C-alpha cells in the first residue's frame, strides 16, 4: 500500500470532480462532497470513457455515454451499471490530497462493506499466485476447495466434458471473485474449467477457512452471503431492459 500525491484541494471544485495524474502513471478521478474527498478510477469500466466528462451531483457519478452510475463514496454500482468502480482511500494533509492504493480484496465485489478486522483475516488466508497464458486453475470435477480473486489478467470458463466444452463466460476486472463453489455446502466439485486467457495474477483463498472467519463475524458473513447470492443470480437471469 503506497501513498501517492494526486492534487491540491483547490484543484477540485466544490461538489465537483477532476481527473488527476497520480505520480504521472495512474489516472485518478478526485471528487469533492462537502468536506470530504473521494477518489476512483478515471475511466468507465464499461467502455473506457473518461468519467470526468460525465455528470456528478456531489453524491452520484454518472458516465455520460450509457448512464452507468455509482455511489462516489463506495464505488458501488447504481441502476444500469454492471460493474463497480475501483476506489482509493483518500488522505488529506493540509491542502494536499493523497490516495492509498487498495488491496485486491478491498475492491472485490464480494467483500465491500466487510469489517476491517474480518477483511484482514481473510487477507491473511490469501495466497498470491501467478499463472501464464493458457494456465489451468482447475478442471471440471476437481474438488472445489479454494475460491479466487482476480488481481490482473483474464480468466475464461468452459463447461461441458472432454473436448465437447463451450465457453461459459469470463472474468476481467480486478476484484472479481470466482470459483465460489468453495463457499457453498452443496457443491463439492467444480462444474467448469478455468483457464487464463492471458498472464494473470490471482489470490487463492481456502473456502472452508474463509467461512470459519465469516462465522465469527456473522454481520460481515451476512453481507458476503447476500453478495454471493446476487453474484450467482447475475449469471442466471437477464438483468432487464436498458
Partner 1 sequence: MKIQLNARNRAYQFAAAGGERILYAGLASGINLPYECGSGTCGTCKARLVSGDIDDLWPAAPGRKYLKHPGEFLMCQSEARGDCSLEVANFVYNMDPGACLPAAGRGILRSPRLLTDDVIAFSIELAAPREFDAGQFMVMQVPGVPGYRGYSMANFERGAKKLDFVVKKKPGGGASEWLFNGNIEGREVDLFGPLGSATFFPALAKNILCIAGGSGIAGIMSILERACQEHYFDQYSGDVFFGVRTMKDAFYLDELSRYRNKFPQKLQITVALSDEEVPAAAAQRYPALAFDKGLVHEVAARHMKGKYQNVRAYLAGPPPAVDAAIRVLLLEAKLTADNIRYDKFS
Q: How far is the CB of 91 from partner 1 (least distance, A)?
A: 29
Block residue for cell numbers 467483500: 111
Q: Report whether 60 contacts 51 (CB < 8 A).
A: no
Report the SS3 class of residue 117. helix
Our CB check for partner 1 shows the closer of 94 and 166 to be 166
Q: How far apart are CA 131 and CA 46, in angstroms?
A: 25
Q: Of 67, 23, 18, 60, which is closest to residue 44 (Cα–Cα)? A: 67
Our CB check for partner 1 shows the closer of 62 and 118 to be 62
* Cα 151-24-9 angle, rounded to 5 deg: 100
Q: How far is the CB of 66 from partner 1 (least distance, A)?
A: 7
Q: How far is the CB of 182 from partner 1 (least distance, A)?
A: 20
Our CB check for partner 1 shows the closer of 14 and 241 to be 241
Q: How far apart are CA 3 and CA 123, in angstroms?
A: 20
Q: How far is the CB of 119 from partner 1 (least distance, A)?
A: 26
Our CB check for partner 1 shows the closer of 125 and 197 to be 197
Q: Report whether 64 contacts 55 (CB < 8 A).
A: yes
R_g of the chain computed on alpha carbons: 19
Q: How far is the CB of 68 from partner 1 (least distance, A)?
A: 8
Q: Report whether 104 contacts 204 (CB < 8 A).
A: no
Our CB check for partner 1 shows the closer of 50 and 100 to be 50
Q: How far is the CB of 101 from partner 1 (least distance, A)?
A: 22
Residues that bind partner 1 (CB under 8 A): 47-49, 55, 57, 62, 64, 66-69, 78-80, 82, 156, 166-172, 234-235, 238-239, 241-242
Our CB check for partner 1 shows the closer of 111 and 157 to be 157
Q: How far is the CB of 235 from partner 1 (least distance, A)?
A: 5
Q: How far apart are CA 35 and CA 82, in angstroms?
A: 29
Our CB check for partner 1 shows the closer of 85 and 97 to be 85
- CB burial string 196-228: b at 16+ within 10 A, e below: beeebbbbbbebebbbebbeebeebbebbeebb
Amino acid at each position: 500500500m503506497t501513498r501517492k500525491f494526486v492534487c491540491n484541494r483547490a484543484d477540485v471544485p466544490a461538489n465537483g470532480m477532476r481527473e488527476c495524474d497520480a505520480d504521472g502513471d495512474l489516472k485518478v478521478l478526485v471528487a469533492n462532497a462537502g468536506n470530504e474527498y473521494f477518489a476512483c478510477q478515471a475511466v468507465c469500466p464499461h467502455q473506457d470513457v473518461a468519467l470526468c466528462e460525465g455528470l456528478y451531483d456531489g453524491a452520484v457519478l454518472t458516465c455520460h455515454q450509457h448512464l452507468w452510475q455509482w455511489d462516489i463514496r463506495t464505488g458501488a454500482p447504481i441502476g444500469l451499471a454492471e460493474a463497480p468502480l475501483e476506489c482509493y482511500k483518500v488522505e488529506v494533509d493540509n491542502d494536499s490530497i493523497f490516495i492509498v492504493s487498495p488491496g485486491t480484496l478491498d475492491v472485490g465485489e464480494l467483500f465491500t462493506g466487510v469489517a476491517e478486522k474480518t477483511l484482514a483475516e481473510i487477507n491473511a488466508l490469501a495466497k498470491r499466485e501467478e499463472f501464464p497464458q493458457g494456465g489451468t486453475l482447475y478442471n471440471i470435477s476437481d474438488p472445489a476447495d479454494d475460491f479466487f480473486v482476480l488481481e490482473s489478467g483474464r480468466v475464461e470458463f468452459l463447461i461441458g466434458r472432454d473436448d465437447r466444452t463451450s465457453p461459459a463466460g469470463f472474468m476481467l476486472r480486478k476484484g472479481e471473485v470466482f470459483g465460489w463453489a468453495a463457499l457453498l455446502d452443496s457443491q463439492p466439485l467444480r462444474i467448469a474449467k478455468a483457464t487464463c486467457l492471458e498472464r494473470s495474477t490471482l489470490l487463492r483463498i481456502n473456502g472452508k477457512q474463509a467461512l470459519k472467519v465469516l462465522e465469527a463475524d456473522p454481520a460481515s458473513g451476512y453481507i458476503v452471503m447476500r453478495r454471493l447470492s446476487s453474484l450467482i443470480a447475475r449469471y442466471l437471469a437477464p438483468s432487464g431492459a436498458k
